[in-house]
A = this chain, B = another copy of it.
């Protein structure tokens, strides 16, 4: 870290507070206008500071954006983790994992005003979100799989194999979602999650 190391607690707290206010302001602005249209001056003005001040707290615009995306993903993750926790079997956990993921991400995209057609053109957004997301998702997913293997609910396959399968499933659902968006035909999607998860689990058991 190249930031000034806080020797006093008070000063650390103040710095943290300002770093926080930058993120809060940036998050709101990015949601409304997107990465490209929000300038550092916009963010600075929003917290009543000059542009150069931002560089005292963050070393680049990208760092700010990444921090915001990290927070967005964090919120999704909390939602997912809670849903997964409340499920009892690995099968149920996987189901709610997939469903919550679909719903939460869709909500986030809507928040940023991104509709299906634009998803691909908003590369910078999806890319940052994806990076941040993938890392945390596998932690959650691996937890579920370990659980299923410990309880004997998942069959003879290794965690790596199971993870590959679930990856394929999730990627497939994503592809399906895009396809459905094209036809404005979402009804098929969520039932498919259930059928697919159950199929996979039963397949793995046998």
Contact = CB atoms under 8 A, between A and B. Distances in A.
12 contacts: A165-B195, A165-B196, A168-B176, A171-B171, A171-B172, A171-B175, A171-B176, A171-B179, A175-B175, A199-B204, A200-B203, A206-B206
Contacts of A173: 168, 172
This protein's copies in its complex: 2
A121 to B, nearest CB: 11
Interface string A52-72: 000000000000000000000
A131 to B, nearest CB: 12
Nearest to A188: B164
Nearest to A204: B199
Interface in A184-206: 188, 192, 195-196, 198-204, 206
A175 to B, nearest CB: 3
Contacts of A201: 203
Contact of A203 (B175, B179, B202): B202
A194 to B, nearest CB: 11
A167 interface: yes
Contacts of A174: 171, 175
A202 B206 contact: yes
